[in-house]
Chains A and B, each alone.
Chain A
Amino acid sequence: MEILKLTALELSAKIKAGEIKVKDAVKAALDRIKEAEPAVNSFVTIDEAGAYRQAEIIQEEIDAGRMTGLLAGVPAAVKDNLCMDGILTTCSSRILSGFRPAYTAQAVENLQKAGVVILGKTNMDEFAMGSTTETSCYGPAKNPHNTGHVPGGSSGGSCAAVAAGECFGALGSDTGGSIRQPGSFCGVVGLKPTYGTVSRYGLIAYGSSLDQIGPVTRDVSDCAAFLEAIASHDPKDSTSVERPDYHFTGALVDDVKGLRIGIPKDYMGEGLDPEVRQAVMEAAAVLKKRGAAVEMADLGLVRYAIPAYYTIAAAEASSNLERFDGVKYGYRAEDYDGLHDMYKKTRSEGFGPEVKRRILLGSFVLSSGYYDAYYLKALRTKALIKKEFDKAFEKYDLLLGPTAPTVAPKLGESLGDPLKMYLGDIYTISVNLAGLPGMTVPVGKNREGLPIGMQLIGKPFDEKTLIRAAYTYECATEKQYEEVVLDINTAAKEAE
């Protein structure tokens, strides 16, 4: 039986039926990781012994009939900014080298309670700052569809791992598009929940008012199941929201009749790759054919989202990353002259260029004399952007557009011009500013075989409508999870 071709839900069903043992699923994933890692570099830590230990315990629970959940026995991976008790957690940064947290992030603990086996930690842009996974101190992850291209970022490792069949699902985090954009580039499903849906306890913070943890999966059904497993009200995160309904798999309904869908005109204009545009419009036509009312829509202030976002995110990052000072954990510089010199040397040697760039910008916009002109101005803009979404959602149940303006760029082409790289976040970033749920669904490939993603944006706390629309699209197109066949030898040669 080809375990690796199954979705997470199919795999768990077979495990619960006694057709597959958890340890065999773990072995299949670990074998695939060994085969694919030289080419994709999507993992930074692989916990082989721990995975087999978990598999044994979960198998016992399943056999005893105590563990019956949808994801019981499924091997998955988590992004390296999620703390796990005793497991190396570095945010792909030198400054956290050797850090083993004393506790586990709530979202990861929720997965473990659901019977998911955690295989290891995935590669990411350093501290989630980047759009390509090239700012990682471990070297870039590669796109499994073409290893000469980036997987996107910052959750590039999680998305590449799912696309390469190294795991049956993964957790990422999304501050400005960091689940949706790499999901789009890697041809997998990714969802950023409404702010407050998934506890941020144990997520190493980047931009606290924007960060959310979310699932990366092979198909829409798996996405709903992973979201259902990780979402919870958590008193340990004071921004966590108690929701009346966590039954996201209940939204796996093949029906969009009467659903009002708006396509923001400003998401389909200048700067959008024609092949991406065509694929997204075709996907919209599929939903229209299934009975949704689809039309072009007005959504204002799109061009102001990126400058507002980078101001707010940099400000929060400069504050959040102050804790990395070489005292309590991670890297400390070798030679220093007193306490302040130790702080400065440790941070200068421990952080990479993109992280330093954002800390400096953030320190500047928060400094006295500039605080009003930059930081408060950005927060006022955020209020206006939120209002634009509120207006759009008076007319529509969801918004539909591309996830990113292009397909995955080639390796090495993005970091030279940061501002240009930031512009690639144009469609995803305002969703974080407004705290909304957003989802990426694969809708085809371009001529070179690189995946294209459609983004669905919902009202606050309305993930279910996104899942229903995405599921209907998947059913209509009979889209099934396709294993990416990596030519390891060719990829290894290219890497040389």
Chain B
Amino acid sequence: MANKISDETIEYVGILAKLKLSEEEKEAAKADMEKMLDYIDILNELDTSGVEPMSHVFPVNNVFREDVVTNGDGRESALANAPKRREDSFEVPRTIG
């Protein structure tokens, strides 16, 4: 079965992935993805009906802990990494109207 990725699909996936793709990159991504999906489709040879999807390999339960602060004030070292900062805030482009 040959997969076909439409222009709309690659456009939509680009939005989900938050990636800006040039026309050239879009064509390459379509070809790449079609090839990968054709390959992934061999999983359809397997009968997985009645098999629970396994997200974690060992039988572990939810791990809870008290929400207590254990680290010190890391404000300055965190902000030091900001590509743009204004005083004690991360600076971003205008987000509301």
A residues lining the B interface (CB < 8 Å): 86, 98-100, 102-103, 195-196, 209, 235, 238-239, 241, 301, 303-304, 306-308, 310-311, 318, 322, 325-332, 336, 338-345, 347-348, 351, 356-357, 359-364, 366-367, 374, 376-384, 386, 418-419, 433-435, 460
Contacts and interface: CB of A to CB of B under 8 A. Distances in A.
A62 B58 CA distance: 40
| Number of chain B interface residues as a range | 35 or more
Contacts of A98: 81
A419 B53 contact: no
Contact of B52 (A238, A343, A383): A383
Contacts of A307: 39-43
The 3 closest A-B pairs by CB, nearest first: A379-B53, A435-B57, A332-B83
Given A332-B84, A359-B19, A383 B13 contact: no
Given A238-B63, A307-B40, A338-B94, A379 B17 contact: no
Given A327-B83, A364-B37, A367-B13, 5 more contacts: A241-B60, A328-B90, A360-B13, A386-B57, A460-B58
Contacts of B51: 380, 383-384
A345 B20 contact: yes
Interface of B: 9-10, 12-14, 16-21, 25, 29, 32-33, 35-37, 39-46, 48, 51-58, 60, 62-63, 65, 71, 74, 77-78, 80-84, 90, 92-95
B19 A360 contact: yes
Contacts of B52: 380, 383
* Chain A interface, >50% SS class: helix
Nearest to A377: B43
- If over half of B's interface residues share one DSSP class (helix, strand or loop), that class is named, otherwise mixed; here it is loop
A174 to B, nearest CB: 15
A359 B17 CA distance: 6
Given A336-B93, A364-B13, A377-B48, A343 B18 contact: yes
B58 A357 contact: no
B69 to A, nearest CB: 13
A379 B55 contact: yes
